[in-house]
A and B are shown apart, each in its own frame.
Chain A
Amino acid sequence: MSRGPEWRQALVLAAIAAACALPFLLSNFRLFQFTQVGIYAIALLGLNILTGYNGQISLGHGAFYALGAYTTAIMIDRWSVPYGWTIPVAGLLCLVAGFLFGIPALRLEGLYLALATFALALAVPQILKYFEHWTGGSQGIVLSKPGAPLGLRLSPDQWLYFVTLGVLILLFGLGANLLRGRTGRAIVAVRDNPIAAQAMGVNSALYKSLTFGVSAAYTGVAGALSALAIAFVAPDAFNVFLSITFLVGIVIGGLASISGAIFGGLFVQFVPNWAQEISKAAPWAIYGIFLIVFMYAMPRGIVGALRLAGARLARFRG
């Protein structure tokens, strides 16, 4: 999969092994939280491909997350499609939606793009409530958690964890391949210097909208998985704060890094819980302080800090 240095391969394998052992060590509730981490990580990688690697800031990825989640929920609820098929369909649908949204977004730069996508995120709950016939309005759609197939002795939570882990490994592998090769260099070149990139024959417009599509597809798959894991979708779960949470996740994890998505997922899943445990009265104040202190200590995110530490260590040795 990855052709990095050997220690990095070993690290990835060790992480996968540890992730596989988790379901047999944790309670179902803790495991559910780790499933959420995996789901967030997939969504964050999607946003990071767009914002970190391609330099297009999106505050509206909650919309694609919602689109993925509702695609899965409606397909299962209305047409009784097996849940496994709904995940790629959600991904494809978001790919197309993201690509189409990416075309007008070409005209917008930086802040204006961020605010236009922000508008998208804001409109989502209202639109979902408006199409009540399909989405069940504010009541949402209730699903049932799929059980493990083939008589595997796993609880539904354990099974969903493994499904999420499998999808995560697949998508991270694909993402790493995409970003390492020729395409990845083109994506980064468009971010760093669009004119030079075009002079080198990179079709900047096509790459930008394609990146938007791929990014939306990742986030849509994450949304589909979240619909399965929570077994419930409702419009108010997809508010603006979801999109802002994604942005927080990629900046905290580290922009333009693949492993940053996992660190970001851990942060956005667990830090609010810790804040709750520290202060019941004003948990979000604690969360805010965490955010600010984190940014002071690691202005380039967790991966940025690790890279810096690695570089210092190498210099110290050499």
Chain B
Amino acid sequence: MEIFLQQVVSGLATGGIYGSVALALVMIYQATDVVNFAQGEMAMFSTYLAWSMLNAGVPYWAAFFATLAVAFVCGVVIERVVIRPVENAPVLTIVIVCIGLLVILNSVAGWIYSYIQKPFPSPFPEKPITIGNVFFGAHDLGALGVTLLVLLFLYVFFRYTTLGLAMRAAAQNPVSSRLCGIRVGWMLALGWGLAALVGAVAGLMIAPIVFLDPTMMSGILIYAFASATLGGFTSPGGAVLGGLLVGVIENLVGTYVKFIGTELKLTVALAMILVVLLVRPSGLFGRVAVHRV
């Protein structure tokens, strides 16, 4: 029972991180119908920026918020400079541009910081927290808390602010929004900025677990795809829930089903997603697209 609880909590912690990256993907997808393959690498790059700041002696939380600010600005700039020129091109063309962005960020990070793994500090104490006779990693709980805070912030932002409403409107119906005086182009850029920010939080929280190196996010991105698919690409809440589900299931399957172990863990996760998609083709919480004939 103790092992079960521990595995569930640590699954929730990594699942929260998958969920945040999935949320970042969903935010961009809903606004532009594009799956941003570079999302993971953007987060990885932000984490390296934080590492540089920490190495220069900046205190953790100052570096944390500075990184988020830089990530936000970079996200906006990337949308304006890289994505905007192909805005009206076919979707696959934009996907290829995102793939180009992915290899550039990955390669430049490797060039500047080398491909050697670096340890990354956690802001939370190392001593595990004991509740009853169950041990929980402090970083697991902390990461889960930070992730939930970010999600709450986003929820409040999109639900209760005018800017959030404008952004949702721009994503849902660009033409009418433009007629209402919303600057749709800038709303998209802001969406990219927010997605980059959420991704940066995920990067900062996962780096102490998986260590920092230029490929650290590729695995996470794959799980984020899985989470978003499971939850439904049209449902932000579903993406987060999908992330938590994937994290927990991944941990439990790895612990209890012996013949699968760690080698086939990913395959099992993917197989489950295929099964879910076959039963519910738009994910668990996705809206089924209705076509007018």
Q: Which A residues lie at the B interface, using CB under 8 A?
A: 51, 57, 104, 107-109, 111-112, 114-116, 118-120, 122-123, 126-127, 129-130, 195, 244, 247-248, 251-252, 255, 281-285, 287-292, 295-296, 299-300
Question: Which partner residue on chain A sits nearest B280 by CB separation?
Answer: A107
What A residues does B225 contact at CB under 8 A? 115, 118
User: By the criterion CB–CB under 8 Å, are B96 and A291 in contact?
Assistant: yes
User: By the criterion CB–CB under 8 Å, are A119 and B97 in contact?
Assistant: no
The CA of A130 and the CA of B29, in the complex, are separated in Å by: 35
A119, chain B: closest CB distance, angstroms? 4
Within 268-293 of B, Cβ neighbours of A (below 8 Å) are at 270-271, 273-274, 277-278, 281-283, 289, 291, 293
Does B62 count as interface, using CB distance less than 8 angstroms? no
- 5 residue pairs of the A-B complex, CB under 8 angstroms, read A51-B92, A115-B225, A120-B270, A282-B111, A283-B107
The CA of A221 and the CA of B86, in the complex, are separated in Å by: 34
User: By the criterion CB–CB under 8 Å, are A282 and B281 in contact?
Assistant: no
Interface 9-residue window, one of B8-16, B49-57, B98-106: B98-106
Partner of B263, one of A120, A129, A247: A129
The CA of A251 and the CA of B100, in the complex, are separated in Å by: 13
Question: Which partner residue on chain A sits nearest B232 by CB separation?
Answer: A112
Within 201-255 of B, Cβ neighbours of A (below 8 Å) are at 222, 225-226, 229, 233
What B residues does A248 contact at CB under 8 A? 96, 99
| A285 and B111 contact, Cβ closer than 8 Å, known pairs A112-B229, A296-B86, A300-B90 | yes
Q: Which B residues lie at the A interface, using CB under 8 A?
A: 29, 35, 82, 85-86, 89-90, 92-93, 95-97, 99-104, 106-108, 110-111, 222, 225-226, 229, 233, 263-264, 266-267, 270-271, 273-274, 277-278, 281-283, 289, 291, 293
B96, chain A: closest CB distance, angstroms? 5
User: By the criterion CB–CB under 8 Å, are A288 and B96 in contact?
Assistant: no
User: By the criterion CB–CB under 8 Å, are B106 and A109 in contact?
Assistant: no
The CA of A68 and the CA of B152, in the complex, are separated in Å by: 49
A40, chain B: closest CB distance, angstroms? 16
User: By the criterion CB–CB under 8 Å, are B92 and A285 in contact?
Assistant: no
Question: Which partner residue on chain B sits nearest A129 by CB separation?
Answer: B263
How many A-B residue pairs lie within 8 Å, measured between CB atoms? 120
Partner of B108, one of A111, A282, A292: A282
User: By the criterion CB–CB under 8 Å, are A285 and B96 in contact?
Assistant: no
User: By the criterion CB–CB under 8 Å, are B96 and A252 in contact?
Assistant: yes
| A292 and B97 contact, Cβ closer than 8 Å, known pairs A119-B226, A119-B270 | yes
User: By the criterion CB–CB under 8 Å, are B107 and A288 in contact?
Assistant: yes
User: By the criterion CB–CB under 8 Å, are A295 and B96 in contact?
Assistant: yes
| A127 and B267 contact, Cβ closer than 8 Å, known pairs A112-B233, A288-B104 | yes
Question: Which partner residue on chain A sits nearest B106 by CB separation?
Answer: A284
| A292 and B107 contact, Cβ closer than 8 Å, known pairs A111-B29, A112-B229, A112-B277 | no
User: By the criterion CB–CB under 8 Å, are A282 and B267 in contact?
Assistant: no
| A119 and B274 contact, Cβ closer than 8 Å, known pairs A283-B107, A284-B104, A288-B104 | yes
B257, chain A: closest CB distance, angstroms? 14
Partner of A292, one of B101, B106, B263: B101
Partner of B103, one of A129, A287, A296, A300: A287
Partner of B89, one of A104, A107, A299: A299
The CA of A299 and the CA of B99, in the complex, are separated in Å by: 15
A12, chain B: closest CB distance, angstroms? 27
What B residues does A283 contact at CB under 8 A? 107
What A residues does B278 contact at CB under 8 A? 104, 107
What A residues does B283 contact at CB under 8 A? 112
The CA of A127 and the CA of B265, in the complex, are separated in Å by: 11
Partner of A107, one of B104, B264, B277: B277
The CA of A69 and the CA of B165, in the complex, are separated in Å by: 52
What A residues does B95 contact at CB under 8 A? 247, 251
B90, chain A: closest CB distance, angstroms? 7
What B residues does A115 contact at CB under 8 A? 35, 225, 229
Of A114, A251, A287, A290, chain B has the most CB atoms within 10 Å of the CB of A251
User: By the criterion CB–CB under 8 Å, are A195 and B85 in contact?
Assistant: no
User: By the criterion CB–CB under 8 Å, are B99 and A281 in contact?
Assistant: no
User: By the criterion CB–CB under 8 Å, are B93 and A285 in contact?
Assistant: no
User: By the criterion CB–CB under 8 Å, are A123 and B267 in contact?
Assistant: yes
A195, chain B: closest CB distance, angstroms? 6
The CA of A122 and the CA of B291, in the complex, are separated in Å by: 32
User: By the criterion CB–CB under 8 Å, are B111 and A123 in contact?
Assistant: no
User: By the criterion CB–CB under 8 Å, are A299 and B93 in contact?
Assistant: yes
User: By the criterion CB–CB under 8 Å, are B281 and A112 in contact?
Assistant: yes
User: By the criterion CB–CB under 8 Å, are A122 and B89 in contact?
Assistant: no
The CA of A247 and the CA of B128, in the complex, are separated in Å by: 46
| A291 and B267 contact, Cβ closer than 8 Å, known pairs A107-B278, A116-B274, A255-B92 | no
User: By the criterion CB–CB under 8 Å, are B281 and A109 in contact?
Assistant: yes
User: By the criterion CB–CB under 8 Å, are A288 and B101 in contact?
Assistant: yes
User: By the criterion CB–CB under 8 Å, are A284 and B103 in contact?
Assistant: yes
The CA of A195 and the CA of B274, in the complex, are separated in Å by: 26
Known: A126-B263, A130-B264, A285-B108. 6 other contacts (CB 8 A): A111-B29, A284-B103, A288-B102, A289-B100, A292-B101, A299-B90
Question: Which partner residue on chain A sits nearest B234 by CB separation?
Answer: A111
The CA of A283 and the CA of B104, in the complex, are separated in Å by: 9
User: By the criterion CB–CB under 8 Å, are B86 and A122 in contact?
Assistant: no
The CA of A244 and the CA of B97, in the complex, are separated in Å by: 12
Question: Which partner residue on chain B sits nearest A290 by CB separation?
Answer: B100
What B residues does A116 contact at CB under 8 A? 229, 273-274, 277
B236, chain A: closest CB distance, angstroms? 16
B235, chain A: closest CB distance, angstroms? 13
B82, chain A: closest CB distance, angstroms? 7
User: By the criterion CB–CB under 8 Å, are A122 and B270 in contact?
Assistant: yes
